[in-house]
Every structure is written in C-alpha cells, then in structure tokens.
C-alpha cells in the first residue's frame, strides 16, 4: 500500500470525525443519543485499561476464529466431493441449499437453547454462517481447473492426491481466499448474533448490557471494537493470501498497471 492511499485513508477518517462532531453541533444531540468522539475514545481507554474490554474481545475473537476454522472444514470437504461427483451434487444440493436458506438469526435462539449460553453455541452459529460461502467457492474453484492440466496429470499417471495437491488446490486458491475474506466478516457477525441471543460475556453481550443502561459511549466502544476485529482479521487473511499465492497478487497488480496506462 503506497503513501498516497494511506494519506487518503487518514483524510477520510479525519473527515468522518469532523462530520460526526458537525452533526452533533447542528442537531444538538444529547450525550445519550450521540456522544462526542472524544467521549467514546475516553470510554474505550478506560475499558481497555480496566481489562474489561480485552476480556470480552478475547471471547468474541475465540468464537469467531474457532467457528471460522470449523466452517472452513465443513465447506471444503463436502464441497470437493460435490464438485467431483455429479451424483453427490444432485443428491446433496437440495439439502445444502435448504440449510443455507434457513435464516441463521432465526436458528440462533434454538441453537442457544440446545447448546447453552456458553461459547459452544456461538461457535456453531459462526460455523453454520461461514460454511456455505466456502462450500460454493470450493465447488467453483475445483470445476474451473484447466482441463488440459487434468489431462496432463492423467498422462503422467498422477494419483488423485497428487492431482489435488499439484493442480486442483492451487487453481482453487484465488477463489477460496475470496470466500475466506467474505467468511471472516460473516464470522464476526455470527458471533455477535449469538451473543445477542444469549451470553454472559463477549462484545455482543457488552453491547446489549450497555444499551440496557443507556450507556451510549460504551455501546459505541463495543461496536468500534467489533469493527477493528473484523478489519484486522480481513487484513490477516489478505496477508496470508499474498504469502501463499503471490503469483495471483502480482497478476492483479499487472492488470491495474495496464489499466492505468
């Protein structure tokens, strides 16, 4: 990321803060409706210093990462077999689509009732939300592999495992990482939804608790903390993508440069 882009991002952030203060000034909102940015920052600092914010952040982060990892496994394994077999595709597709179309927010109370108010129910909700984007993208990735490469591997008498490791998996990586980026943002949302339904810790719980006390600055702190988690996790996956498939990232850069010229 070049300095020009970073400068623009800082400019947009500063502009957002000024707009926030301008709206408060014009409409004269009371503190319990829309607090000043500096009030939110002070509250964020106090909660961080007390260790309370870090405690709830680690709970939500754990739910997000564990559920995301399970969702990846649930998506990749059946997705590969669906992509490779038309019979499995025709057999499982109606059920997979039905599972996806069932609203997860509606299922969340049921999951919490079944598995309790602890971390397990939140992990299950996250995994259910994440798995379908991963499933669809691994199917697309496997089916988009160049047929000439597959024919070459047959000529070389490569095993199915070798075909997967040397051809199918590398070819699917760009599409799969796109699903990872989508999935990680959905994972954060899933964890918060689960905490909204029933929890005694986590940033979602902190939001509901603060809202019940009409502590608007603390609500803003929890929301911004969730936003920070989502951004950092997205950037982490983007960084891993650059390390695992640098050739794809370099290809994107070449396309942008050619478009500029």
Output the pLDDT for position 250: 57
pLDDT band of 120, cuts 50, 70, 90 = very high
28-81 pLDDT, tens digit each: 888 888 999 999 999 999 999 999 999 999 999 999 999 999 999 999 988 888
Indicate if the pLDDT at residue 253 is higher than 50.
no
Q: Report all structural domains of the chain as residue ranges with CATH numbers, in order of start.
A: 63-242 (1.10.3720.10)
First to last CA, the chain: 19
153-171 pLDDT, tens digit each: 888 888 888 888 888 888 8
Is the CB of residue 168 less than 8 Å from the CB of residue 23? Answer: no
Indicate if the pLDDT at residue 256 is higher than 90.
no
Calculate the average pLDDT of the chain.
86
Output the pLDDT for position 2: 67
Across 52-66, 145-159, 236-250, which has the greatest mean pLDDT?
52-66
**Tokens 């390390």, residue?**
243
Q: For residue 11, with 0-12 CB atoms within 10 Å meaning exposed, 13-18 middle and 19 or more buried, which class applies?
A: exposed
Who has greater pLDDT, 95 or 76? Answer: 76
pLDDT band of 109, cuts 50, 70, 90 = confident
Who has greater pLDDT, 105 or 133? Answer: 133
Indicate if the pLDDT at residue 236 is higher than 90.
yes
- Give the SS3 label for residue 43: helix
Is the CB of residue 86 less than 8 Å from the CB of residue 139? Answer: no
Give which of 139, 124, 126, 129 is closest to 176, Cα–Cα. 139
**The tokens of 148 are what?**
């000439």
| The model's pTM | 0.85
* Main-chain phi, psi angles of 145, to 5 degrees: -65, 140
Please give the Cα distance from 43 to 120 (Å, whole number).
30
Share of the chain above pLDDT 90, in %: 44
Share of the chain above pLDDT 70, in %: 94
Output the pLDDT for position 261: 44
Rounded mean pLDDT, 133-148: 87
164-206 pLDDT, tens digit each: 888 888 888 899 999 999 999 999 999 999 998 888 899 999 9
Q: At what angle do helices 203-212 and 216-244 cross, to 10 degrees?
A: 160
Indicate if the pLDDT at residue 141 is higher than 80.
yes
């Amino acid at each position: 990321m070049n300095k020009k882009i970073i400068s623009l991002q800082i400019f947009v952030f500063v502009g957002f803060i000024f707009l926030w203060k301008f709206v408060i000034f014009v409409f004269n909102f009371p503190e319990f409706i829309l607090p000043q940015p500096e009030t939110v920052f002070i509250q964020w600092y106090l909660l961080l210093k007390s260790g309370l914010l870090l405690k709830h952040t680690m709970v939500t982060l754990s739910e997000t990462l564990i559920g995301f990892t399970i969702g990846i496994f649930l998506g990749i394994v059946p997705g590969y077999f669906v992509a490779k077999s038309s019979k499995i595709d025709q057999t499982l597709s109606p059920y997979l689509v039905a599972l996806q179309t069932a609203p997860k927010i509606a299922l969340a109370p049921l999951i919490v009732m079944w598995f309790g108010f602890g971390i397990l129910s939140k992990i299950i909700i996250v995994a259910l939300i994440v798995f379908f984007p991963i499933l669809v993208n691994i199917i697309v990735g496997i089916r988009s592999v160049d047929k000439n490469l597959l024919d070459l591997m047959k000529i070389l008498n490569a095993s199915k495992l070798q075909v997967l490791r040397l051809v199918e998996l590398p070819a699917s990586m760009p599409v799969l990482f796109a699903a990872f980026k989508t999935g990680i943002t959905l994972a954060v949302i899933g964890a918060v939804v689960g905490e909204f339904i029933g929890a005694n810790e986590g940033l979602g719980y902190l939001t509901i608790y603060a809202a019940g006390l009409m502590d608007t600055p603390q609500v803003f702190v929890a929301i911004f903390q969730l936003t920070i988690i989502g951004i950092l996790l997205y950037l982490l996956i983007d960084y891993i993508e650059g390390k695992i498939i640098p050739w794809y990232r370099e290809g994107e850069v070449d396309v942008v440069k050619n478009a500029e010229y």
